[in-house]
Structure 1
Amino acid sequence: MRDALWAALKTVNDPELHRDLVSLGMIERAEVGGGVAQVKVNLTTPACPLKGQIEGDVRSAVLAVPGIKEVVVTFGAMVRTGGQPALPGVKHVLLVGSGKGGVGKSSVAVNIAASLARDGARVGLLDADVYGPSVAHMLGRSAERVTANAERKMQPLEAHGIRFLSMANLSPAGQALVWRGPMLHSAIQQFLKDAAWGDLDYLIVDLPPGTGDVQLSLTQTIQVTGAVIVTTPQDVALIDAARAIDMFRKASVPVLGVVENMSYFVAPDTGLTYDLFGRGGSQKLGGLPLLGEVPLDMEVRKDSDAGEPAVLAHPDSAAAQALTGVARALAGRVSVQALADLPDQLPVV
């Protein structure tokens, strides 16, 4: 019966990777006794957006095996990388960028990181907006200072299950940094290579707006898995978002998708929906995958000012659910990206 159980599992495909769970090495354990099958599936990310579908497909396939009356499905997760890690211990570096400021890029980056961490991933967050750092404030840790460990490497701070570094925790509050390009390059190098990030599934990088020195330093320094573009729906934002996309493509960084932020507003008193900045404008960006439409929500702003990401403070709100969907869709895109460099047949764990 064990052979029949494994044969049944081989008919179940991962909905995003379009290969069966057995050849992908996602079945950690499959045993049967007394008519009860025990199956453990290792997902390609803790934030798998299609976990429920996979569980249902496994149950249907296994219950079709003669003699099996019950199926117990459990899950683990193992984030894979198609090649060498971007940094020691860091599997994927994901850039969150925008063509212009004011589109909510940092808020999206913080909530992506918080959502992935809540789902069980090991997550780091680098605030690469050196001139206008905001991540520390949004995580409620702006008063803390970065220290060095015994190896004289910067020790990232921690908040909400996220390891993070920000210039706000290295320089006096309110002090302007008047730096030229080489100094920016040196700072980014230190954030990446002189910090004790430890083992991470994802390092989210909140970029400054535009297409300047920081973006070039990052793309030329390490292997980046991909980038996310944050924009609002109106044309003035989309024009600049298109420039950011062009920059990433010239730097050979895959653009994994677009987040349309402030996509619409639902009036709390009437429930009516207003497209304040238009809606659906991200469809003009060359057919890139839409990771999600995030509504304009006052709670997101309040939560950011209070130092707690909206996905944690108000997880049932429309904005938080949209941001959670963005994070999970991004994790799925990363898994698909990694598969391109994996062998056709992976060993069974």
Structure 2
Amino acid sequence: MPTTTIRKSLIESFGDPSHVSIVTTEIGPPAANEVQLKVLYSGFGGSDIAMRLGSYPNQKSAPLTTGYSCIGLVTLNGSKSTKFPISSLVGCLSVYEGQSERVNLPEKYLIPIPEGVDLKQAVALILDWTTAYGMVYRTSKVTKGQRVFIHGLSGSVGFSLLTLCKLQGAEVYGTASEYNHAAVRAAGAHPFVYTNKDWMMAMNAIGGAHVVFDPLGFESYDESWDILARGGGMLVGYGGNYNVLNGGKTRSQWPQIAKLLSKNLNVFCPNSTAFFYVNRDQSTFEPELKALLEMLRKGEIRVPIRKLWTLEEVPEAHRMFNKGPGVGAVVIKVANNVNL
């Protein structure tokens, strides 16, 4: 069977950024139900860091190639794949292999990308913004006039939560590094520094938050619970790997998630909790991503790009993760041109 020579990122073994390299390898043709893409852009974020450290839930063993989301052009179809003509522009929640010049992916997970959208922005919708969309519109059902508190306002998911909650007419508060406060204020939020805990007193002084979005996990869940509105509020946890992403030791999330959800057992408490995650097999995933793509096409949302790295710079992206000012998504430009 013919193969194609490609470049890709590779986590050779778990550990610090020195374990990430860019290698030359071969890719074979797609299987019957697969499609081969020339990857144009891939997302980059906490999943990449956690996988490099070997701490992402249920992840593959090393060696592995990260890239949880990607956008690319169809170059080959497997014998049973007929949905997308050659050169079709598609996106995918790939989970792995997005940071490769070519990738074979199951046809059933590919979603058409509308003409005219900015592909750098579109690739960020596939994971980070669908996570935010599901939490805002489906889990917490944010409505006009509510007070919403978001931990990590300047991150890709945090900024998308900010944007979507403002579109719903909510008043947005949250935490962010002080050097990003001006940017999140400009987007309509009221930022606090996380470490001094002033945000807890401030939120309780105005009656608490109707919804809190917390990706930090562990002890932060208790603090977030304590700022919920007394008459009824919802704490939505997601991610939960903040400790490891910032140099801490790996801790199992499952006991803390169980503790978070157990708060719902008190039928006399007006507050509630949920833990949210995105899976490409969920029936809600494709329609929600398509809704976001349409919002992007119409100019109803804009995805700020914090940093654009090339494929060859992926090791540096690992080294510089979460360092310095900036808001929004980090994106990997995989291809140098859009020609097949």
Structure 1 or 2, whichever has the larger Rg, is 1
- Say which structure, 1 or 2, has more relative contact order (CA 8 Å, 6+ apart): 1
Query: TM-score with structure 2 length normalisation?
Result: 0.30
